[in-house]
Structure 1
Amino acid sequence: MDELLAAANHFIAENQPDVDQRWYPRFHLAPPVGWMNDPNGLTWFNGYFHAFYQHYPYAAEWGPMHWGHARSRDMIRWEHLPVALAPSDPQDKDGCFSGSAVVAGETLSLIYTGHKFDGRPVDENLYQVQCLATSQDGLTFRKEGQVLDTPAGVHHFRDPKVWREGDVWYMVVGIKVNDAGEIHIYRSDDLRQWQYESAIQGTDICDGYMWECPDLFRLGDKQVLMFSPQGINTDGYHYRNLFQSGCVVGEWQPGTPFTAQQAFHELDHGHDFYAPQSFTTPDGRRVIMGWLAMWESPMPEKADGWAGMLTLPRELTISATGKVSQMPVKEIETLRKEHHQWHPGEFCQQNVPLMEDAQALEVLLEWDVSRSTAERYGISLGTGARIFIDNQARRIVLERNYPALNLSGDRSVPLPDGECLSLRLFIDKSSLELFINVGEYTLSSRIYPEENDRQLSLFCHHGRAVVNKCCAWQLAS
């Protein structure tokens, strides 16, 4: 294993200087080189936030999964660390798949899926088990092998998320049984010997043939089951991406079944959001990060030597209606630099230029919906991305249009009731993250503007639009 880790870290050091920076993010966590997907092992240990992630360092393509590793004092400024895990043992020879991290005393423990297959793309030739690796310094990890075998007759069994309730460890694992998704719950006293406790299953929870990246945690006085189902059919404006990520709010206590109190709903309505994982900050906030990309979607940055990034860390809360809301963690405000203030007020059937080169920016917009009569009004970034209110459909739309890159289309959410609409938008080199009405909805999408096509403007068509507030901050890298 040491040789494989050394080879991976050497390759990264040798090739990182060659990564093209044209779309590389300024304030999102991305791989130094090569491929990134799911966030793994989000935790706090020895004075740092740690973020691991699915990583293939040798190409900007999915490959035998390693665990990349970064740490931060504030969840915003990340320091890349050596690769933590490489596929090396019989249990994980074809990939160290997704998992989680917990702190047990002075030890940081990684619980992950060991993946192996014989090369033929059929389930009978795929084998997945849960494995353990431990560290005393948070930098180097010792594999301890398999701790949970695959249930009989099952092949898809992955993405363990572990947490502690009193003196007992619990684990949820995604599983595919007879072409239906389930989540199994296990318990342990020592992270090494696990006993099956119960299953969460059924179409009353969610459809789909596989439920990936499960997470079960308390938020306020509710229990939230968060997971990423595969195989949900598109339904009107819903489930437009290949795979989804969302949650079910309900109740669960050790020894009792999970009881859903609300239907499954998507956590993010943009083009690119998958496999979110949660963790608890030292001051008790529940925070998630997700993969800001989507399977089988074009990723033009591959040509630049890297692919994939993680979302901003988002604090979760329960709204008065019992819905899960998300907002970027308050630490993001420490990146704010130069402030820009505009006073467009009311404008009619025109574009209002705001900034020529928007690359690392936080924008706050408040629209007076009650007095805005335009059929469409909103904000645009160059010729390829727009966020607007469609007054006829009564929806908020995130539209991207990069036909040369085979990336076009829109995503949308209902226009909330109320006289005013608040938008908080984060623009990075190749991404947009939009938070609506203090986290009532979020939309996250990748974008690919050319360097000379980043003008930020307001617009309205066929009528007037009224802006109560319009300002922005440049964000530090």
Structure 2
Amino acid sequence: MWIDSRHQEAIERAALSIRHNMKKVSGDHWRPNYHISTEAFWMNDPNGFSTFKNEYHLFYQHHPYSAEWGPMFWGHVKSEDLVFWEHLPIALAPSEDYDLDGCFSGSTIEKDGFLYALYTGNVWTGNDQDTDLRQTQCLAVSEDGVHFNKSSKNPVISSAPNGDIHPHHFRDPKMWKHGDDYYCVVGSRTKDQQGQALLYRSKDLIDWHFMNVMAKSDGQLGYMWECPDFFHLDGQDVLMISPQGMKPKDYRYHNLHQAGYIQGKLDYETGMFSHGDFRLLDYGFDFYAPQTIQDFQGRRIMVAWMAMWESEMPEQKNNWAGAMTIPRELTIQDNEIISNPILEIEKLRENAVQYKNITVEGEHTFNQISGDSYELEVIIDAQASLTFGVKVRKSEALNQETLLMYNRAESLLELNRDRSGSGPKGSRVVPVKLHDNKLCLRIFIDKSSIEVFINNGEKVMSARIYPDQTAKGISFFSEKEITLIKFQKWDLNKSVSNGSIEGNSSS
């Protein structure tokens, strides 16, 4: 395949920058064991989550020159099972007039034995990054899934459509195939700052035709819809969006930006999506820009950026920032999306410990059980207790803990990180009903994160936490007697390995 030398040189310069900084990053005790993060420097949105030649590929927004957001590249990891991941060379780098200031988010799809990437080329036209920008949709192609060449026809979508569509904020295309045609949804806003999604159709991934404004805000769904994703699941069409600028409402929308979905039915003739209300996908602090694939087994799998814009990131001082959630399988139950960890995550388990029918009143610490990279599964019979919960990443000496507390009077589960160590504080709550007076929690702890799956995936809460490396304790508490019907813990092994980051390497 013909090699674009200018693009390749930009990739090789970035690889050199990463290689020179990997040692400092690898020694950080907050580095995840089983969550995807960069070998060095900045990471945000997942991109191009796809299957190609019997492997899974995940790309991501990456700045390979600092731990701050900057001109975007596409970092790249691959896996055979969605659990064990290998770093690959950077896939896309800003190198052309149309993407000079960033290869922004997008998607990939396999066609005729090649992997095609559709991404947003970003150019700043002035000093104000909210108003002085030009965004177009651009195509790159790979025959091995690793090395990409940009199309000579770029940009393949050179401007936003006419109408009540903002001419500059026009990004994050997500492609899929339906029938004989290819479709993509692009994030957008109206001229008076209301979020919306645009639908395009193509026969060949090169000539794209605008169909319609697929869906738009009713005035309550933010000023911009970023990172849209569209798929069919369990008889429903689902449009995932990451709205910017939603106002807090009761327990919802307290992060700077949100991520959720609307579901209904897409009319492929008119390009219009009839849908219900917006619902969140995660009720914690750190979850944005989710992207999905249909895997080799036909499951719908989702990954998201486990961080939040403008949030404090203590790891930046050690030359890295950001991580991805563990992959989650999506299903629909009672007309809502249920999220659960993929079954394959169990491959990482070792050192299993199990208890049954443990009575807790006051606080009970399992002195022989601790850690900073593990999975907990617990079923709690609340009995007559009104408040109870679990503390993880706990250190009495340092007064550190991350708190999960259930309030039965209000039917709310709280995730509190006020005493989680360094980094951002605060709490989030989510409505949770007990089933037969029982609460089921599945908790994933990594070096600097917590993900909580509640009642078999009815709700999920994700957060970055930055405890001291000695804060490894686990305890349960209750103001009246409760019973831990089942309590299981597994240590989880490391699953993300360093591959080659050389610009001229191959898989």
Which is worse superposed, 381-390 or 399-408?
399-408
TM-fit CA distance, 1:205: 8.6
**Structure 2 residue 388 is the aligned partner of structure 1 residue 376:** yes
Q: 2:93 is aligned with what amino acid?
A: A
Deviations 1:373-398 (A, max 9, x none): 14333333312301121223221111
Which residue matches 1:38? 45
Which residue matches 1:441? 459
- Are the aligned partners of 1:345 and 1:468 in contact in 2 as well (CA < 8 Å)? yes
- Between the aligned partners of 1:422 and 1:350, the Cα distance in structure 2 is 19
Q: Secondary structure at the match of 1:6?
A: helix
Which is worse superposed, 343-352 or 400-409?
400-409
- Between the aligned partners of 1:123 and 1:380, the Cα distance in structure 2 is 40
- Are the aligned partners of 2:46 and 2:61 in contact in 1 as well (CA < 8 Å)? yes
Which is worse superposed, 259-268 or 359-368?
259-268
Alignment of 1:151-170 (within 5 A): 151=160, 152=162, 154-170=167-183
Q: Secondary structure at the match of 2:485?
A: strand
**Structure 2 residue 431 is the aligned partner of structure 1 residue 414:** yes
- Are the aligned partners of 2:194 and 2:221 in contact in 1 as well (CA < 8 Å)? yes
- Between the aligned partners of 1:33 and 1:244, the Cα distance in structure 2 is 26
- Are the aligned partners of 2:173 and 2:185 in contact in 1 as well (CA < 8 Å)? yes
Which residue matches 1:139? 146
Which residue matches 2:338? 325
Which residue matches 1:315? 329
- Between the aligned partners of 1:411 and 1:444, the Cα distance in structure 2 is 10
Correspondent of 2:482 among 459, 465, 471: 465
TM-fit CA distance, 1:68: 0.2
- Are the aligned partners of 2:194 and 2:219 in contact in 1 as well (CA < 8 Å)? no
- Between the aligned partners of 1:18 and 1:47, the Cα distance in structure 2 is 34
Which residue matches 2:113? 106
- Are the aligned partners of 1:270 and 1:445 in contact in 2 as well (CA < 8 Å)? yes
- Are the aligned partners of 1:171 and 1:187 in contact in 2 as well (CA < 8 Å)? yes
Deviations 1:266-305 (A, max 9, x none): 0000000000001110111111100000000000000111
- Between the aligned partners of 2:272 and 2:483, the Cα distance in structure 1 is 46
Q: 1:391 is aligned with what amino acid?
A: R
TM-fit CA distance, 1:404: 6.7
Which residue matches 1:13? 19
| Structure 2 residue runs without a partner (length 5+) | 1-6, 395-399, 495-507
Q: 2:58 is aligned with what amino acid?
A: A
- Are the aligned partners of 1:355 and 1:455 in contact in 2 as well (CA < 8 Å)? no
TM-fit CA distance, 1:372: 4.2
Q: Secondary structure at the match of 1:296?
A: coil
- Between the aligned partners of 2:148 and 2:350, the Cα distance in structure 1 is 38
User: Taking structure 2 as the reference length, what is the TM-score of the superposition?
Assistant: 0.91
TM-fit CA distance, 1:422: 1.0
Q: Which of structures 1 and 2 has the larger relative contact order (alpha carbons within 8 angstroms, sep 6+)?
A: 2
Shift in alpha-carbon separation, 1:122–1:276, aligned structure 2, 3 A: closer
Which residue matches 1:278? 292
- Are the aligned partners of 1:155 and 1:176 in contact in 2 as well (CA < 8 Å)? no
Alignment of 1:116-195 (within 5 A): 116-121=123-128, 123-144=130-151, 145-151=154-160, 152=162, 154-178=167-191, 179-195=193-209
**Structure 2 residue 239 is the aligned partner of structure 1 residue 248:** no
Which residue matches 1:59? 66
Q: Secondary structure at the match of 1:378?
A: strand
Which residue matches 2:501? none
Correspondent of 1:430 among 448, 453, 457: 448
Q: Secondary structure at the match of 2:315?
A: helix
Q: 1:422 is aligned with what amino acid?
A: C
TM-fit CA distance, 1:260: 4.0
Deviations 1:281-339 (A, max 9, x none): 011111110000000000000011110000001111010x1101111111101111110
Q: 2:446 is aligned with what amino acid?
A: D
Which residue matches 1:24? 31
Which is worse superposed, 75-84 or 5-14?
5-14
TM-fit CA distance, 1:80: 0.3
Q: Secondary structure at the match of 2:297?
A: coil
Q: 2:388 is aligned with what amino acid?
A: R
- Between the aligned partners of 2:330 and 2:421, the Cα distance in structure 1 is 37
- Between the aligned partners of 2:376 and 2:359, the Cα distance in structure 1 is 18
TM-fit CA distance, 1:413: 1.0
Shift in alpha-carbon separation, 1:257–1:167, aligned structure 2, 3 A: closer
**Structure 2 residue 227 is the aligned partner of structure 1 residue 213:** yes
Shift in alpha-carbon separation, 1:402–1:379, aligned structure 2, 3 A: closer
TM-fit CA distance, 1:355: 4.8
- Are the aligned partners of 1:389 and 1:396 in contact in 2 as well (CA < 8 Å)? yes
- Are the aligned partners of 2:67 and 2:316 in contact in 1 as well (CA < 8 Å)? yes
Shift in alpha-carbon separation, 1:334–1:297, aligned structure 2, 3 A: same
TM-fit CA distance, 1:402: 4.4
Correspondent of 1:394 among 400, 411, 434: 411
Which residue matches 2:317? 303
Shift in alpha-carbon separation, 1:18–1:302, aligned structure 2, 3 A: same
Q: 1:192 is aligned with what amino acid?
A: I
- Are the aligned partners of 2:116 and 2:141 in contact in 1 as well (CA < 8 Å)? yes
- Are the aligned partners of 1:326 and 1:439 in contact in 2 as well (CA < 8 Å)? yes
- Between the aligned partners of 1:432 and 1:157, the Cα distance in structure 2 is 33
Q: Secondary structure at the match of 1:82?
A: coil
Shift in alpha-carbon separation, 1:390–1:290, aligned structure 2, 3 A: same
Correspondent of 1:4 among 1, 10, 14: 10
Q: 1:299 is aligned with what amino acid?
A: M
| Structure 1 residue runs without a partner (length 5+) | none
TM-fit CA distance, 1:357: 3.6
Q: 2:171 is aligned with what amino acid?
A: R
**Structure 2 residue 354 is the aligned partner of structure 1 residue 341:** yes
